[in-house]
Amino acid sequence: MKNSIFKISTIILFLFIASCDLSEKTLDSVSSSYITLNDSKVHYKEYGQGAKSLIFIHGWGCDLNTWKYQFDYFKDKYHLVLIDLPGYGQSDKVEQDYTIDLFAQSVSELVRDLEIKNPVLVAHSMGLPIAIEVLKQLNTETAILVNIDGVYFDFPTDSIESNQYEEGLTEFANMFNVEDYKQNVEQFCNGFITESTPEDVRSYIISTMTETPQTVGYQSMKSLIDQKYWDKKILKNQTISIYAKTDELVPDNENLLRKQFPNLTYIEMDSVNHFLMMEKPKKVNEILKGFIEK
């Protein structure tokens, strides 16, 4: 009788501990994993189960912690994979060319390695052109694209205007190839911060982006403005784009995106800036859940 009581008590205790572990799981507590690309390690974290696999792709100067609020919300719903792009976060920072191609290869390799059939690519900022290249590399129309305030360049067709446009982008990228690199990064960061930016988001932006190694930061920017990544190949994947409604947003942004993404759901959000998924995570998460499950 005592043995039976002991066994029952042990089972109840185990179930209680397991349930507590599930509810209290944080992104920091998830163990690290790595894949190897070009003889360097690419860091990622994987958690959860479900019919949907969400692959989170951070932007310039950031890391997988960009998505901590999405992890908290979706951890019990889907299979989550969060990557530190090469040169960022806990991934190796070796001497190599840090390009959109390289970043996309790291994501594509991870998708193949984990045998994910129909990924949901969740991309922020520079993550958008990376996700676009991933869709091309995987050659699939069944993957879903989630674009959160993604960088999107529209090179003019007129040669003179195109040259002027490219010169402007090059001048911007060169700000990250000078002795005052860190100071310029801080100035860049301040453009994403307003009086209403939550303190934890403000702290993340400044502390993370300013620690980006200059070689990684400059080469990433230089690659980002390369016109070859902006060929506007039509992608029929189901796509949602969520943008912060700011003064810098292109007036015809929706129509511009729809030319490349015909199956587009487009949303603009008020009272947020570039890191809207951290500033108003509840609203963004609810939008994403509704789109993914429709």
Domain ranges of the chain: 31-155+232-293
Q: 87 with 93: CB under 8 angstroms?
A: yes
DSSP secondary structure letter of residue 64: G
Euclidean distance between CA atoms 247 and 231, whole angstroms: 26
Instruction: Please name which of 226, 153, 185 lies closest in space to residue 60, comparing C-alpha atoms.
Output: 185
Question: Residues with Cβ < 8 Å from 226, sequence gap 6 or more?
Answer: 99, 100
Q: Which CATH architecture has domain 31-155+232-293?
A: 3-Layer(aba) Sandwich (3.40)
pLDDT recorded at residue 10: 46
pLDDT recorded at residue 294: 84
pLDDT recorded at residue 24: 66
User: Which residues in the chain show pLDDT less than 70?
Assistant: 1-24
Sign of CA dihedral 11, 12, 13, 19: positive
pLDDT recorded at residue 186: 97
pLDDT recorded at residue 179: 96
Instruction: Please name which of 27, 268, 282, 232 lies closest in space to residue 147, comparing C-alpha atoms.
Output: 268
The DSSP secondary structure of 218-282, one letter per residue, reads HHHHHHHT-GGG-------S-EEEEEE--TTS-TTHHHHHHHH-SSEEEEEESS--TTHHHHSHH
